[in-house]
Structure 1
């Protein structure tokens, strides 16, 4: 899955840029992800980075801790863990899913939560088309499992001819037209 690393890297670095640009007074703003305000969303991203780093190292499923303000550093460690030889092979002992599936789950989180954060904090966000295509293809196949596990909400209708990113957002339960 060497072709995934550039996609994961671009999505992660873009989301880290967004996190770095958040101002203290924006931490309480609502986001398109109804469960989270901006601070909670960044805390969730910190957990995602820590979790997927652990999974890449065949470690345990880690629990979410309190907001630490260190997502960019955690994200670098996550990318380093996924860049190791052989990491994409086999199944995660902690999650019982193929490592390729987990890598795609991480990619979707980075792309969608990057958008959540950008929308909430009025930042520009345009994920690259190749990343969106890969995330949409994966999500189309895994959406029901994602809904069963509480990761995705009910679908939001979008036109069939909508841009790929809007279709990705709609399939996982985000309204592409959301504004604060």
Structure 2
């Protein structure tokens, strides 16, 4: 899931034009340019953690996103990457991996919506994220990791439920 989510989000990033960098995104904290910077940094962070390294300091190098994303995938492909507890976060590495999938998918959706690009999520990924966000949101909201829950229709897809639980309106448009 991480590989396909990352490939999809890197492709979206490559489709962003310079005149779109100041556009708003569904993630209130970021415009498109800041979102690309965030994706680049979290890719570096999620590459360091499975290697047992300290996360790098936050930076604004959006041009490094594709290379950092490739490094992240390589780190998670290493034997034992999902075992143990993350020294950098104090969480099981299996949870850290789901955090990485969540970031790539949620922020990929943010980027696609903001820039008018297509974005789809398979049912399995949507179900994983709905369960993950439902579990993590109560402790993540006070830290600003997730926004306040946005109600979604009863017939919403698992991914739309995940979006709502994460504080995003699945119907958001610029």
1:49 match: 43
Query: Aligned residues, how many?
Result: 174
- Checking the alignment, whether the CA contact within 8 Å between 1:39 and 1:67 is kept in structure 2 is no
Normalised to the residue count of structure 1, the TM-score between the two structures is 0.94
Is the counterpart of residue 157 in structure 1 residue 127 in structure 2?
no
Q: Distance in 1 between matches of 2:51 and 2:13?
A: 25
Q: Which residue of 2 aligns with 1:3?
A: none
Tell me what 1:145 maps to: 139
Moved over 4 A (4+): none
Q: Distance in 1 between matches of 2:161 and 2:119?
A: 16
CA distance in 2, matches of 1:74, 1:19: 13
Aligned position for 2:94: 100
CA RMSD of aligned residues (A): 0.9
Q: Give the Å deviation of 1:148.
A: 2.3
TM-score of the pair, normalised by structure 2: 0.97
Tell me the secondary structure at the aligned position of residue 63 of structure 2: coil
Asked if the contact 2:44/2:55 (under 8 Å) is kept, the reply is no
Q: Distance in 2 between matches of 1:99 and 1:33?
A: 26
Q: Counterpart of 2:8?
A: 14
Which segments of 5 or more consecutive residues in structure 1 lack a partner in the other structure? 1-6
Report the CA distance between 1:134 and its aligned residue.
Answer: 1.0
Q: Does 2:156 align with 1:176? A: no
Determine which of 71, 82, 88 is the counterpart of 1:88: 82
Q: Which runs of 5+ in 2 are unaligned?
A: none
- Matched residue, 2:103: 109
Contact 1:32–1:119 (8 Å) recurs in 2: yes
Q: For the Cα contact (< 8 Å) 1:49–1:75, is it kept in 2?
A: yes
